[in-house]
Structure 1
Amino acid sequence: MTQDIDPVSNPKVAVIGGGVAGATAALHLAELGVNVDLIEKKPSLVSGPPICHLHAGGNLYREISVEQCVDLLKQSIDSVRLYPHTVNRRPTLIVVPFSDGGDPQQLLPRLEQIRAVYKQLVDEDPSNAVLGNPEDYFTLYYREQLEQLKQLKQPEHPSSYDDWLIPFAQHADLDNIKYPVVGVNEYGWSVFRIAASAMLVLEQSAHCELKTDTRLVDMHWHNQQWQLSLESIRDGFKQIEQQSYDYVINACGFETGEIDDLAQAPRQRMVEFKAAYVTKWQQNNQLWPEVIFHGPRGTENGMAQLTPYANSVFQLHGMTKEITLFDDGLVSNCERSSQPKLPLRLNNKIEQGWSEQTRVERSIKAIQHMSRFVPSYASAMEHGLPLFGAQQIPGDDETLRAADVSFSQKHYARIEVVKGSSALEAIRKIVACWQLAPASQTALTIEELHPNATTLNADAVEEKAKQLAISRGYPQELAEVYGQ
């Protein structure tokens, strides 16, 4: 079911781009009863940059403000409530090695502030307790505790922080890190189960028309509506159709500037290309938490990130220019265009894929980088296509992480999320600004506003997610439920 909207006055909305931002926008509008066309150039939804975890507190980013951390916390909670079958419930460890130069004690005041906000949110609405008990939001471990955990056998179904830290205690180089180590409930987030959830809802919605394999090629404002020219391939032939819309939402991710140019709505932004590497650690037989080893970005000691999945498949980030970051991978737009231009070699990776040599070389470097902190990880192997893509950063602050929406003239808005969990907040602001739904709906819960999304069957979501992963050339483990 959807909300009751007056069909006479109900406008028609185009959402351009079917990534996490566009898919979430279309889902929200369709659940409200607003007629929406979701226009996506690829054959399925949410196939952009790698998403591997919620940012439920922003603890991976020491450089961002507490305000951004709190925004990310609130947005993450709302995202879990909207997409209840997309989370991998395991903790994240924040580790400061000696090679970093930082002090783990400096993390603690901010963690206390975030926990206090989380507790307040749960006190206001118990449905917000999606990250567990607020008292357990984070915990600290010192060397003596890890030495004790080192002697234990991990239970088959780990549930406590102690259970999850056993493999870390046994395999990490405990001599080369500073204490305490922080365990925090920043859970994993499955990009494939997000895609599956959105598609299961939208494919059955009477209020959404999914236009996949369709590209916007032109747009102009005429007679108080947007006139869009849409190009698609049907039965081997190129087709151009003209469609009229009352509102247009640009949710094109790193290509948002291209639509800005068509709409003649200039905007300053940056784009950054990144990649994460899929590896398999065959010798591992334990269930790991996610582990973040802090380090100065862009140096040989850059942050190392270990993200676990089923069957000992791990995703690796290494914030060096030989692994996750790339020379000239962060670019800004120019005065002539709102679209930053990535170097051709990086754009070719997005459009045409990776050469096997580059994929293997960077994967091996990622494994070597992780083995500096977890020596036994040196035995892991490259395991297929990297997770890669480009993310937009509105404005000129490359440290910005909590961003959502900006508006331009003539019923045109851009969803400019840096992190996927900001998408729901963005479309809610658009609905409020354009008055697309009755004000009375602001009193409804996320579950009441999204009855179809929040009541999906968990097994159906996982099964479709596995199909999507395989169809895109990734191991199905990346789509499987992992954790509690």
Structure 2
Amino acid sequence: MGVVGGGVAGSTVALRLAELGIPVTLIEEGATLVNGPPICHLHAGGNLYREISDKQCVTLLRQSIDTLRVFPHTANIRPTVIAVPLRDSGNPDTLLPRLKLLQNVYKKLIEQDAGNAVLGDPDEYFKVYQQQDLINLAAKNLPLMPVSLDDWMVPVAKNLNLNEFKYPIIMVQEYGLSIFRIAATASLAFAKLPACKVYTNAKVTHIEKSDSENQQAWNISFQRFNEQLNDHQTENITVDYLVNACGYRTGSLDDMAAVTRNRMVEFKAAYVTQWPTCEGVWPEVIFHGERGTPNGMAQLTPYPDGYFQLHGMTEDITLFKKGLVSSTKQSAQPKLEEHFISKLKTQWKPFEVTARTQRAINHIAQFVPTFDDAIVGGNPLFGAQQIPGNDPTLRAADVSFEDQRYARSEIVKASSAISAADAILDKLVEEGLITKDIFAGLLSREEQFQVTHALNTEDVVRVAEQLAKNRHFPKALAQPVNIAKNQK
């Protein structure tokens, strides 16, 4: 097995196989694994996206539960608040049927398997607050460590301009997700899994399908820098199945493989800020808005030490003019303009970091006036997100297959990575490359990912903090928020 691309999609596929003892080679162009778009949120129900279908929301819920069971060290355990401003055309009451549906699905999943109870008590999956409820909470002291949903809501009630919103305001158990602790988990697990060979700083230059003695295979050529020779050396491997997990560059490998695929790529960024006067332990807060307009959704994501990651779904903040591009009949790889490629490969210009971060601060301060004294806290988190097909609202996606032992892990959200890995594993069984015997006795998610699940939280955090430092981000972004007490 060969996996090209060591982001969250490719690393998860490789982990899934290696944990079962299936030999796999993982090839990543970058220096470290899982260094992609600004992952910060576990979409346990997809409530950030009111425009997506209930079916997608249920899929995201199931996938998120799987993610927490496989990667228990990566969640920031705090709820998310959903608020609809008066200026927005939406009605918060329309969110309630979906939330009740998700709550019922969550309850049924727990009835089927008690191990699925990773999002807290299903009876507290969500809670609604009227304006008077928030006025009452605003009069309370700030809890040192939130326990109940009401505790989490106190700093929000104290700082929001409560007259600017439609009611109810909703709190839901959608947690945070740390890209740095996902990267650390993958690196630590691979070091303990002899079935996986990892090549980093390895750029694939050519792939070619071959038939040898009636056995289909893929020849992969890649270049690695040889420090002793001070030159790039070409290496070659042959694999019996190829997984394309190249993220926004998935189309480039498709072109090498001479297969077609419709897809889009969107460049996005989130901004790191520090709020020196922040008081209390905050949940995440989402202010709904119409995507792409000046009143686009605003997202306030908390980390330790007063750091917050900000999204503003406007073209002046998170989105970019001409930042969404599509594939063509000539190429499966959508072509971003050169200034986006420059951002992806090199550093941003300082003035642009300052300007866009300040716009993000101003966007949040419309709703949280006290946030106006926040400052730039670091470099932006950015990347290009692939979206299979032609629907820019697609959020729940995982994998697609060709007829020549070639699969694409095409996740849009990190929580879909386990689902993609499962589908690829099923395909290997279907094609006779592995047998079902390999699953013998491995019934639960925890049993199927024994090495990954057994990692020590302190080790994961230590490596994650070093990765954050190496990538020039505050170590607070790698640190856990209210991590589960029962973890090792």
| TM-score bucket (shorter structure) | over 0.9
What displacement does 1:154 show? 1.7
TM-score (norm 1): 0.96
Matched to 2:201, the amino acid is D
What displacement does 1:483 show? 2.3
Structure 2 partner of 1:266: 260
Q: CA RMSD, aligned part only?
A: 0.9
Map Cα deviations across residues 405-445 of structure 1 (whole Å, 9 max, x no partner). 00012210000000011011111111111215432528611
> Does the aligned pair in 2 maintain the 1:331–1:340 contact within 8 Å?
yes
Structure 2 partner of 1:56: 44
Q: Relative to structure 2, which stretch is displaced further, 345-354 or 88-97?
A: 345-354
Structure 2 matches for 1:48-447, cutoff 5 A?
48-222=36-210, 223=212, 224-235=216-227, 236-435=230-429, 436-440=433-437, 441=439, 444-447=443-446
Matched, 1:472 2:460: no
Map Cα deviations across residues 56-107 of structure 1 (whole Å, 9 max, x no partner). 0000001111100000000000011000011111000000001211100000
Write out the 4+ residue segments of structure 1 that deviate beyond 6 Å after TM superposition.
Answer: none
Which SS does the other structure have where 1:389 is aligned? strand
What displacement does 1:383 show? 1.1
Matched, 1:460 2:459: yes
What displacement does 1:157 show? 1.1
Find the aligned partners of 2:413 and 2:135 in 1 and give their Cα distance: 36
Structure 1 partner of 2:486: none
Find the aligned partners of 2:141 and 2:206 in 1 and give their Cα distance: 61
What displacement does 1:156 show? 1.2
Which SS does the other structure have where 1:321 is aligned? coil
Find the aligned partners of 1:58 and 1:155 in 2 and give their Cα distance: 28
Find the aligned partners of 1:51 and 1:43 in 2 and give their Cα distance: 19
Find the aligned partners of 1:197 and 1:272 in 2 and give their Cα distance: 27
Structure 2 partner of 1:7: none
Find the aligned partners of 1:382 and 1:174 in 2 and give their Cα distance: 26
Matched to 2:150, the amino acid is D
Find the aligned partners of 1:219 and 1:119 in 2 and give their Cα distance: 46
Which SS does the other structure have where 1:217 is aligned? strand
Find the aligned partners of 2:139 and 2:369 in 1 and give their Cα distance: 18
Matched to 2:83, the amino acid is V
Find the aligned partners of 1:393 and 1:351 in 2 and give their Cα distance: 21
Which SS does the other structure have where 1:406 is aligned? strand
> Does the aligned pair in 2 maintain the 1:289–1:308 contact within 8 Å?
yes
Find the aligned partners of 1:185 and 1:466 in 2 and give their Cα distance: 26
What displacement does 1:203 show? 1.9
Which SS does the other structure have where 1:373 is aligned? coil
Find the aligned partners of 1:294 and 1:186 in 2 and give their Cα distance: 16
In percent, how many aligned pairs have the same letter? 50
Find the aligned partners of 1:312 and 1:285 in 2 and give their Cα distance: 8
Which SS does the other structure have where 2:11 is aligned? helix
Which SS does the other structure have where 1:452 is aligned? helix
Matched to 1:387, the amino acid is L
Find the aligned partners of 1:477 and 1:146 in 2 and give their Cα distance: 29
What displacement does 1:277 show? 0.1
Find the aligned partners of 1:183 and 1:232 in 2 and give their Cα distance: 48
Q: Relative to structure 2, which stretch is displaced further, 253-262 or 156-165?
A: 156-165
Which SS does the other structure have where 1:18 is aligned? coil
Find the aligned partners of 2:226 and 2:302 in 1 and give their Cα distance: 40
What displacement does 1:265 show? 1.1
Which SS does the other structure have where 2:392 is aligned? coil
> Does the aligned pair in 2 maintain the 1:32–1:437 contact within 8 Å?
no
Find the aligned partners of 1:437 and 1:292 in 2 and give their Cα distance: 44
What displacement does 1:204 show? 2.2
Find the aligned partners of 1:453 and 1:150 in 2 and give their Cα distance: 42
Matched to 2:174, the amino acid is E
